[in-house]
Amino acid sequence: MRQNMLFNKSRYSRIVILTGAGVSAGSGLRTYRGPNGVWEEYEVAKFGHAEALANRPEETWRLFGGRRELILAAKPNAAHLALAEWEAALAPHQEFLLVTQNVDGLHQCAGSKNVVEIHGNVMFTRCSNASCDLELYRDEQSHLNKVPICPKCGSVLRPNVVLFGEEIPVLPSWTVKRALRDCDLFIAVGTSGLVTPAANYVRGAEYAGARTILVNLEPMAQPNPAFKEQYLGPADEVLPELLAKL
Ligand code: APR
Ligand code: ZN
């Protein structure tokens, strides 16, 4: 049984946390890169690119629809829970933004409140036609056998994720930039730091004068000098201990 961590009030007042697939590894969800990574099984160009969706939407659904089942079976781990509890322990004047590249929704499941999903959320479906007014909706179906079609306009429906070749939508992008501009603590957790723009956020935080920390299983393959501190190990062990000291 996991012990509840008691968090004291942090001394930081403008906090930005960036999470990646490594945070959900402790919940049994595969990371994208590294041993047994998603991109080893599913070639990015074939399954993860906007062009693939335009030409072969069944491939897009094969990858992302398949992830829905896994996510439904997964539970938040100690890293997700520690972030949620830490946020809840902050005083009203302390600003906190949890920026996640993950599309699994596990941070919200754990109780995190101020979350920005820069790569979307795979548990939602929307129309691929940008001018269609079909509302985004939660969808637990995998659609592995048949590509779903929009009831309003007849276009292909798609999982609500940002694919390679697509931009992060304006609102999340702007929210993150604004938070980075004057943040005093930046922690990246479980991310390879290979995908922009998230990989550049630490530079923005450093420029703002923030304390910059990386928590990851292993050192970054291409180390980023903007991180001034690094704590290595599984996020579900390292992060709760670190947060308790901040
Ligand atoms: N605890 C902490 N870190 C871990 C753990 C763990 N238990 N397990 C793995 N890691 C680390 C790996 O060492 C790796 O550096 O997590 C990182 C995961 O890297 P990626 O798989 O590249 O995930 P991420 O950085 O989130 O990828 C960014 O790339 O393909 C796109 O859209 C996808 O959002 C994703 C983006
Ligand atoms: Zn439509």
The CATH number of the domain holding residue 149 is 3.30.1600.10
- What pTM did the predictor assign? 0.96
Same domain, 126 and 4: no
| Cα torsion 91, 92, 94, 100: sign | positive
Mutate to test the pocket of ligand 1, among 32, 49, 213 (most ligand atoms within 8 A of CB): 32
Q: 119 catalytic, yes or no? A: yes
| Ligand 1 centroid, distance to 20 Cα (angstroms) | 5
162, pLDDT greater than 80:
yes
Which pLDDT score, from 0 to 100, does residue 1 have? 40
The whole domain housing 142 covers 30-73+122-161
Same domain, 111 and 214: yes
Same domain, 54 and 157: yes
Average pLDDT over residues 143-165: 97
Same domain, 227 and 214: yes
Same domain, 225 and 191: yes
Same domain, 186 and 234: yes
pLDDT digits (tens, 9 = 90+) for 45-90: 788 999 999 999 999 999 999 999 999 999 999 999 999 999 999 9
| Ligand 1 centroid, distance to 17 Cα (angstroms) | 15
